[in-house]
């Protein structure tokens, strides 16, 4: 058995046990002009919307993560990425400067309007890149009987990758939607998907995922 066959046998989309995870599609990352803007993330919004519709139409769980920072918990991420720290009143904002990006209480923490969570859908606020680390995500998924996660969002090489590894380490069967995750540079996107597909998850397109769900 080769590696591809092993992945195909071990990681499958199971009816009734599969959820969609939308990672950090927040205004702070997606909207133009934000200090931590990921412009390619805007391109994946339509495909995430189509997957949201497919999962919702079949009553399957949908979960969102949001990165948040708070000065009351001055974690290392705030030192490495000063954009998350509170912006001084009237001072300049932008990459490398304190800009209140994903700062707790700011509007830019919210998921973009095009992907807005519905009432009753789980929204997990996290302090680290990994959506499982020190959050209720694992417990909430297990309470719903979820064993397989379809992952979309941004950034492929940071929060998506960290969350995929976190899920893998907790025995979830992970899928990553290649054309519904995004990062800043094409070469990093390709490398990240290669790493994910060789070690942690199956990689598929939004169309492939939607077609399989449509048969349920």
* pLDDT of 1 strictly over 80: no
HSE, side-chain direction, 13 A CA sphere, residue 129:
17
Length of the chain: 216
Q: How confident is the model at residue 99 (pLDDT cuts 50, 70, 90)?
A: very high
Q: Which residues pair with 150 in a beta bridge?
A: 20, 175
Residue owning tokens 């918990």: 73
Average pLDDT over the chain, rounded to whole?
97
pLDDT of res. 120: 95
Q: How confident is the model at residue 30 (pLDDT cuts 50, 70, 90)?
A: very high
Three-state DSSP at 173 gives strand
pLDDT (average), residues 201-207: 98
Three-state DSSP at 103 gives strand
Q: How confident is the model at residue 90 (pLDDT cuts 50, 70, 90)?
A: confident
Q: How confident is the model at residue 179 (pLDDT cuts 50, 70, 90)?
A: very high
Tokens of 135: 């959050």
Q: Which residues pair with 149 in a beta bridge?
A: 19, 174
* pLDDT of 106 strictly over 80: yes
Q: Please, what is the angle between helix 45-57 and helix 206-214, to 10°?
A: 10
* pLDDT of 3 strictly over 90: no
HSE, side-chain direction, 13 A CA sphere, residue 201:
33
Closest by CA to 152, choosing from 210, 99, 68, 212, is: 210
Please confirm whether the linkage preceding 31 is cis (ω < 30° from 0). no
Task: Say which residues have a Cβ less than 8 Å from residue 76's Cβ, sequence separation at least 6.
Answer: none
| pLDDT tens digits, 130-147 | 999 999 999 999 999 999
Measured CA to CA in angstroms, residue 54 lies from 19, 138, 169, 211 at distances of: 11, 23, 27, 9
**Integer Cα distance of 131 and 68 in angstroms:** 11
CB 198 within 8 A of CB 176: no
| pLDDT tens digits, 47-83 | 999 999 999 999 999 999 999 999 999 999 999 999 9
pLDDT of res. 159: 98
pLDDT (average), residues 6-16: 95
* pLDDT of 91 strictly over 90: no
pLDDT of res. 127: 98
Q: What percent of the chain has pLDDT over 70?
A: 100
Q: How confident is the model at residue 183 (pLDDT cuts 50, 70, 90)?
A: very high
Closest by CA to 51, choosing from 181, 210, 202, 215, is: 210
pLDDT of res. 117: 98
Q: How confident is the model at residue 10 (pLDDT cuts 50, 70, 90)?
A: very high
* pLDDT of 17 strictly over 80: yes
* pLDDT of 151 strictly over 90: yes
**Integer Cα distance of 131 and 164 in angstroms:** 9
């Amino acid at each position: 058995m080769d590696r591809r066959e092993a992945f195909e046998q071990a990681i499958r989309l199971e009816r009734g046990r599969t959820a969609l995870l939308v990672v950090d599609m927040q205004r702070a990352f997606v909207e133009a002009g934000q200090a931590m803007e990921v412009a390619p993330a805007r391109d994946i919004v339509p495909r995430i919307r189509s997957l949201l519709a497919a999962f919702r139409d079949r009553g399957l769980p949908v979960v969102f993560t949001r990165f948040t920072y708070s000065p009351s918990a001055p974690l290392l991420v705030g030192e490495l990425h000063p954009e998350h720290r509170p912006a001084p009143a009237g001072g300049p904002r932008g990459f490398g400067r304190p800009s209140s990006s994903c700062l707790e209480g700011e509007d830019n923490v919210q998921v973009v309007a095009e992907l807005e969570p519905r009432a009753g859908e789980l929204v997990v606020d996290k302090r680290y890149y990994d959506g499982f680390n020190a959050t209720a995500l694992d417990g909430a998924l297990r309470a719903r009987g979820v064993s397989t996660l379809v992952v979309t969002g941004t950034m492929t090489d940071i929060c998506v990758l960290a969350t995929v590894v976190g899920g893998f380490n907790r025995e979830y069967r992970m899928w990553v939607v290649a054309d519904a995750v995004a990062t800043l540079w094409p070469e990093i996107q390709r490398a990240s998907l290669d790493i994910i597909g060789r070690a942690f998850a199956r990689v598929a397109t939004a169309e492939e995922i939607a077609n399989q769900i449509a048969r349920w």
